[in-house]
Amino acid sequence: MIVAKFGGSSLSSAEKIKNACSVMLKDKRRRVMVVSAPGKRFDGDDKVTDLLINVAQRSCPLSLHSVLMRFWQIISDLGLNTEVFENIKNDLLARLALRLKLTADRFLDLIITSGEDITAKLAAAYFISQGVSAAYINPAECGLILSDKNKKIKFCPSSYKRLSSISALDKIVVFPGFFGANKNGEIIAFDRGGSDITGAILAASLNACLYENYTDVNGVYAACPMTVNSPIAVPQITYQEMECLARGGFNVLHQDALAPLARKQIPLIIKNAAGFGNETLVTKYRDVSKCPIAGIAGKILRRKGVLTVAGEGLPSDASVRAAAALKTANIHYSLLTRDKISLTIHVPPTHVSTAVNILYKCFFL
């Protein structure tokens, strides 16, 4: 069985949803489809989740109208009937009516996760309209249990057994990402990008042979293409390397999606939903002889620039080489620490992009 997760950019319009459904049908092993809420269609467009945050936090009628019109357009372009729109509109309005009955956190989660929930229902309805056997599954009802003790979202391991029952369904399962429920049945959302985690949890629960993560980029690169000009593509990377880089600032995959996969050693492929470009395979091991370092990430955290150099084959002199390169470029660093596969360096926040470029040239060119 293959679990396939589609990001918001891969589901931003009816045509993108049709393409995602077509991808599912190209391999009979693809049995579980995890969906995000529709993302941006073009520069300057709004993500549905951002609109829903405005609806929840600011009671913004314009944002609510935009959400409803966005889904109306998708429903119309998918060729679904108007009853589908009425159902999702009534569901969203029913959620909004609970504002005074829930805590602020639970109300926010209930509203912002409706984007994924609606998208899953529409994808399932589209499959069925095309004569494909499919079913929408609600995460809260099928046993994806989360806790939020001390504001920290944690997955309850007992959910693995509950979710495994999905494998008995002889049809394509469409599962909304980004949320589960607590033991009281209240909706709890993961962090942004949490649909990656949902897909990983399902892959582990179902002992999938593969977890595919479809996005709008061509796999993983050794550095952010918006920071470094034409960085090399990374065809294979380990779970540990990917987690280090995700925590260090790579946005292609949520950092917490790696642990469930590593636990069951389920391979992950990150690829472009458009069907072209490079792709990256994530596994437990890789050959580091030709490329000892997997990548270099940079981010600003608490007003500090943080650089991460990650690689299972990290050279013994990596710290010395990094320090020398930064010193030559007159970039001050205040901390340089190393563990088995990664190097962490603190630099001034205004120098993050420059420092990433310097380290990329140091280790890759």
Q: Is the pLDDT of residue 277 over 90?
A: no
Contacts by 262-269, CB closer than 8 A, 24 or more apart = 263/204, 264/203, 264/204, 264/207, 266/203, 266/204, 266/207, 266/208, 266/209, 266/210, 266/211, 267/209, 267/210, 267/211, 268/200, 268/210, 268/211, 268/212, 268/213, 269/210, 269/211, 269/212, 269/213
Pairing state between β 236-238 and 280-283: parallel
Give the pLDDT score at 331: 96
Give the position of tokens 């991460």. Answer: 308
- Terminal CA-CA length for the chain: 40
What's the CA gap between 212 and 196, in Å, rounded?
10
| Range with lowest mean pLDDT among 9-18, 193-202, 275-284 | 275-284
pLDDT at 344: 97
Rounded to an integer, what distance in angstroms lies between the CA atom of residue 27 and that of residue 30? 6
- Any idea where the domains of the chain sit in the sequence? 2-216, 295-364
State the Cα–Cα distance between residues 279 and 250, nearest whole angstrom.
15
pLDDT at 27: 97
- Fold of the CATH domain 2-216: Carbamate kinase (3.40.1160)
* Domains 2-216 and 295-364 are alike in CATH topology: no
Q: What is the pTM for the complete model shown?
A: 0.96
Q: Model confidence over 290-337: pLDDT tens digits?
A: 899 999 999 999 999 999 999 999 999 999 999 999 999 999 998 889
Check: CATH 3.30.70.260 for 295-364? yes
pLDDT in tens, 131-171: 999 999 999 999 999 988 777 889 999 999 999 999 999 99
